[in-house]
Structure formats: C-alpha cells, structure tokens
Homo-oligomer: A and B are copies of this chain.
C-alpha cells in the first residue's frame, strides 16, 4: 500500500490535462510552503506541491517564511501560524474536512486527516491566487456526502453488443482492454487524481451487468482489481466491484445462490475475506439483481433485503458496504397493457422493504423512476424509505443526453434533483436524504451518497467531447456540496481547464463557454422528447430520434400519442396511480393537469394537443416552438464556438474536436426537430401557428 507516488508531471503525457493543467498550479508552485503530515495521502500532497514548486520556482520544507502551511489538525509540532489557527477553531474538521484561513499573510490549511489534506490541497488549486489575497478568518470545509462514487460500466472482455464500455462514448475502458488489465496504469493514476480534484472518492471498476469473464474479478482475477486499487489509492479513491449474484454457482460450483443457504453465505464470507486480505481498503460490492435478466434472490423466493443483507453480512466485518441497485422492473411488459407502469416499479418493489435492510446495505436509486431521461420527476423511492441508506444515482455518461456528441452540461439537472423537496417547501431535500440527514436520520451511520455512471474512457480528451469533462468535474463538486450553483461550478471548471496561469481565462472564452453550456441541458430537452414523456430514441443505441421506436415494445416506455393527444395517465383518478407514490404536496400537484409543472405534463397526464400550458401555448404549439427554437440555438452556439477559434483562444486540437461534435449536434438536432414536428403534424393535423416548414 505504500508504493512510491508517481510524479504528477508523468500523469499528463499522452492525454489532455482536463482540469489539472500545469498552469493551474502556478499560485502554489511559486510560493514557499510547509507541509506537516504523514501517510500515503500526505505524501501525495507533498509530491504535488514539490512538483509545482519545481516548475514555478517555489519551495517546500522550510517552516520559516512559508506563505502556505498545510498540516494535519492533530500534528504535534505545528509552526506558529498553524498553531494559532488550531487554537482558534473549536473542533477537528473531520477525516475529509479542512479549515482554511489567511492570517498575517500566511495561508494555513488544517486538515482533519490525510484525505482532508488532499481535498484541501485541490481546494487551494481551485482558488489559485485568491488563496493568497487578503487575510480572512477560518472557514471549515467538509463534504456533505461521505460517499461520492463513479460507477464504471466497463467490461473486461469486449461484449458482442455493448463493446468494451457499456453506454460508453469515449473510446475503450481505462481499466480494461480486450479481456485484460490495462497496460497503461499511469492513466488510471491520472484518473484518480482528476477525481480527487473534483471531490469524488470511490469507483466501481466493472459493469453492473456482470458477464462470465467479469464475474471472475472476484476470485481468480482479483489481482487485476488489486492493481487498479494500487493506482487509485494515492488519490484516496476506494475501489468497489460489481458482482454477479449467481457467483456461488458460476465461480464456487455450488448448486444454488440462495441467500438463506448457509453454504452460500459461507461462500460469500470466505470470498469476501479473501478480497479484503488482498485489498485491505476494499470498498464493497455493487449489485444489479433481478433486473433486466441479471440473477437475483427472486429465483429462490427471497426478497431483495434478504439478498442484499447476505452480502452485507460478508462485507460488514471489514467496513465494506453493498450498493444494491433499485433498478428493478418488468422488462417483458406487454405494450397492450396500460395498467402496468414501469414508473411504479422501484417503489412497488422496495418501499415495502424499508427497515429490513442491514446497515451495510446502500440502496442505489436512479434519480428518476424511468431511466436517466433528460426530464423525469424525482423518484418517489427517495421519499419512501426513511429507515434505509439511500444513494442517488445519476448518469455522467450521456446515454440519453446526446452521448457526448451533443453539448449537455448536466449540473443544472442534478442540482434540481438534489434540491428537490419531496415533502414540500419546508421539508428536507433529496440531497439531505442522500447525505443521511433527511427524515429518519442516518441509518447505518450515514447516507448512501451520490453515485454516477462515469463518462470516461481511453479517449485523449477522457470524455470524447472535451466539454463533457465539465460533467465529470461537476459531479464530484455536487457530491461534495449539493448546494453549489451549477454556473459557479462551471466557472471553476473553466478557470482550471483553460487557465493561462496568472492571466486567468480570457473573458471572451468564459462568456462563450457559458453561452454554450449553461442552458445546454434545457436546449437538449427542447429538441428531443417533449414535456417529460421521455424516450422516443432509437431502440438499442438510444441515440437519435425514433418517436415510435419504443412504443410497441416490451420495455414499458410509451407515449400513447394518437390523433387527439399524447401522454401517460399516471393519476390516481384515472391512470396507473403512480402519483400516489409521492408524499403531499407533490401527490396532489402531479395529480392535477393544471397544477402539474409543464415540463412534466405528459409524463403524468394524457392531454389533447390543444391543452393550454402555463406558458399560454398549446401542447402542439409548444412542441413546434421548442423544437424550432432549440435547433436554432444549436446553430448559434456552433457559430459562437467558431468565433473562439478565429481569435485563437483554445488549442486547435481541442477546438477541432468540439467543432466536429457541434456539427453532429446540429445535424442531429435538425433530425430531432423534423421528425418530431412531422410526426405530430401528421397525427394532430394542426399546423404551426407561425407557418414554419414542417415536412
């Protein structure tokens, strides 16, 4: 566990530096610093500061005339400035927290533990010169969520249909290549460093659909997992493994995977003990059970709680947890059957089990009731299980939001979800639930935190679309502090990524990036499926429009458009009753087509095309207006990006990559506009009030 730390400079060799270019370290690197702490993460910080100083002329080591002091709160022999700060703050800021002050021209950071030292260091990188400006009193920083994890849907062996990375749009996996461990461990290290700088602290290293080869990571290929863990450890990133619930059969040769079978329990206990011997700081398991064909406890007549608790029992002795996904629904639905509602499924399956899950179980709940659509209501499961540790799951990978060919800055979406108050304006937020500070308190000793499906691959720009890096960054930041403003996070990301050192970022570039990204989620929403109904994507790859693509399928994702109207009636009064899964006041708000927010109207209601929205427009005119306007908007941002190039504000290779993607976005947006508009004109027979061209 104490292998030498790779010099940070070596981490930026063949790929884009993302939000950690050398220039971002100029403020720290040009000063004299003192560092007091020990352990692997302290060593990492020390090496980071040394590398920065080597490049920018600063120095480390001397307490005398240090302008920056980084120290553990508990360090015995602190320099005077740090001692003074410690005396002025009431309590240790906690393992991952830190206190920052500037007093008498010295910037002092006191961390509760080595992890806090690391996060504090990257906080200083973000601040840049601002960390060394006017004096200011102590400020304490702590993560709101203890658990901030990226799930990688990476296959070890290339999958026939899904390839190396399921729903991956940035090349191959950074962990695995053609059935083997990556040959580029430095890239894994660099990824861990980027994650640490964003605030994330965990990854799961393989796809939740665990195929035959991947299942073996748990046993005879455990060394591969250990190698990944070794690379990530210096940046405080814990490693988790997706496991197949049928592993006792697949790997152990047992006749059953029944969670109540003592032989099965014993197999998991022994197997997990072996994992922890090999990887002492192993995080735990991620499980997709009884979902879309994956094995699970149902085969043995057992509940999800019984299944999850068995794994929790194996992990708990080592402090591990199991993330148990709540993505369970009938994926063999009959489209003729309008009473079955996929939106209801997670609640129907899991809400009755509240209180039955062991402390070491985290129930991982997608933010919406369907599947990562650009617009969904918040999942009612998040308000239904006060006695269960709940994690909120989002997608950084843009499966349904343009697949990293479209610009779609997702922080505003996540911020809305995290800020949603299921119990009304004076109640707790979803972020409170995930942090373990919502109703019911903190079962299991803390909330489940925030989990995202990663958008990273072995692409030179990490995320395919260079601007999609901002989503990865914003995820970590929102997991750390869900109250952050998305636009402010974007500024942080711009400042780091495009900094020219002391000169900062040119105004024109900043303004252009805001113009392109701030509203890009809403723009995407507006040229795709209207008013919250979702899907309308091509089956299988989920890219591009196919309005009826899922309409007559088994997948439970319908829009029910006919010549008169569109939408899914999910009311209690006349529909599937899904609205009743929400607490007051949302159950009533969603129940009423007049109170329901416009953007979710046809998610909850089947309405005529002539229904009047709160905006005053009819549904059909809204469809036309948003599709014309949003497509126009894409053309505008493409022009703005071109102007940036003309004045040379970004590297030409990055510019070219974004420009190429914007061309595809423009083409695709036009295709969405024309197919949606033609489809609804053909069905409704109602012309555009403005007489624009509809084919």
Contacts and interface: CB of A to CB of B under 8 A. Distances in A.
Interface of A: 335-336, 545-549, 552, 561-564, 671, 674-675, 678-679, 681-685, 695
24 contacts: A335-B695, A336-B678, A336-B695, A545-B552, A546-B548, A547-B552, A548-B548, A548-B549, A548-B679, A549-B549, A552-B671, A552-B674, A552-B678, A552-B679, A562-B681, A562-B683, A562-B685, A563-B682, A563-B683, A563-B684, A563-B685, A564-B685, A682-B683, A683-B683
Contacts of A545: 552
B548 A674 contact: no
A272 to B, nearest CB: 39
A678 B564 CA distance: 14
Given A547-B548, A552-B671, 17 more contacts: A336-B695, A546-B549, A546-B552, A547-B552, A548-B549, A548-B679, A549-B549, A552-B675, A561-B682, A562-B683, A562-B685, A563-B563, A563-B682, A563-B684, A564-B685, A682-B683, A683-B683
Of listed A547, A561, A562, residue having the most chain B CB within 10 A: A562
A255 to B, nearest CB: 30
A120 B562 CA distance: 61
A548 B675 CA distance: 11
Nearest to A547: B548
Contacts of A674: 336, 552
A554 to B, nearest CB: 10
Contacts of A679: 548, 552
A547 B674 CA distance: 18
A563 B562 CA distance: 9
Nearest to A684: B563
A335 B674 CA distance: 10
A695 B340 CA distance: 14
Contacts of A671: 552
Contacts of A681: 562
Given A547-B548, A675-B552, A682 B562 contact: yes
A682 B545 CA distance: 20
Q: Which 6 pairs show the lowest CB-CB distances between chains A and B?
A: A562-B682, A336-B695, A548-B548, A563-B563, A552-B675, A563-B685
